[in-house]
Amino acid sequence: MTVTETTPEVLDGREVLIGVSGGIASYKTAILVSRLVQDGAGVTVVMTEAATRFVGAATFEALTGRGVVTGLFGDPRFPLGAHIQLSERADLLVVAPATANFLARAAGGLADDALSTLSLAFSGPSLFAPAMNATMWENAAVQRNCQQLSDDGVMLVGPGEGWLSCRTQGIGRMAEAAEIHAAILQQLVPVDPPVPND
């Protein structure tokens, strides 16, 4: 099976953490989460407080069948801390959308909310999908942060060019759910080696 030939079992038994930071592109993340669940993955969503202003936690709870993590403290499901317990069982961390604020926190190693703390505690492969205004994306500080994250081994998907929510055209549009999904499969689904000819 190649990574493009998906079946409902292609991610069976794999655990994917989906981080959602505060951007309008988070509606695309709901599409991505639905696709991963259909592929058989166990999906847990961690949202920043700002993200809940764009898409409600109830949306992701309905799609995943799991509670959404939105805070650092007081969650009885994770007595040792969600950032510890979730990071220990996950195969991949995906942050979509990854705002300029989140990218700066991750690049600097800050951990002051549930998502940034989880990002710092997670030692497996990470995939971030940046999304922001074109001028923000072109800012030197954002580019430095992205370079640092790439140097640290984080896979960046996008952003693309097109119509932005600020009613302008430019680079900064979050990659489409299908593109992020393909990148996830590349990380988690081994490609069968070629069969030798006898």
pLDDT one-digit tens code per residue, 121-149: 999 999 999 999 888 899 999 999 999 99
pLDDT number for residue 87: 81
Q: How many domains does the chain have?
A: 1
* 153 within some domain: yes
pLDDT attached to residue 184: 95
Task: Determine, yes or no, domain membership for 6.
Answer: no
Q: Single out the catalytic residue among 166, 169, 186, 191.
A: 166
Residue 53: count of CB within 10 angstroms of its CB: 12
Domain membership flag for residue 2: no
Tens of pLDDT, residues 68-125? 999 877 677 766 666 777 888 899 999 999 999 999 999 999 999 999 999 999 999 9
At 170 the pLDDT is: 64
Q: Is residue 3 part of a domain?
A: no
**pLDDT at 1 exceeding the cut of 50:** no
- Of the ranges 42-56, 82-96, 157-171, the best mean pLDDT one: 42-56
Mean pLDDT computed over 41-61: 95
Mean pLDDT along residues 40-45: 95
Residue 4 domain-assigned (yes or no): no
For residue 197, tell me if it sits in a domain.
no
In a domain, 10, yes or no: no
Predicted confidence (pLDDT) at residue 168 exceeds the cutoff of 80: no
pLDDT of residue 182: 95
pLDDT score of 189 more than 90: no
Query: If you average pLDDT over residues 7-19, what whole number do you get?
Result: 85
Q: At 77, which CATH number? A: 3.40.50.1950
Q: Output the pTM of the full model.
A: 0.87
Contact 87, 122 (CB under 8 A): yes
Position 10 pLDDT exceeds 80: yes
What is the spatial distance between Cα 52 and Cα 22, in angstroms, rounded to a whole number? 7
- Domain range holding 166? 15-188
Give yes or no: 166 in active site: yes
68 within some domain: yes
Residue with more model confidence, 190 or 96: 96
3-state helix, strand, coil in the chain (%, to 5): 40, 20, 40
Confidence class of residue 2 from pLDDT cuts 50, 70 and 90? very low
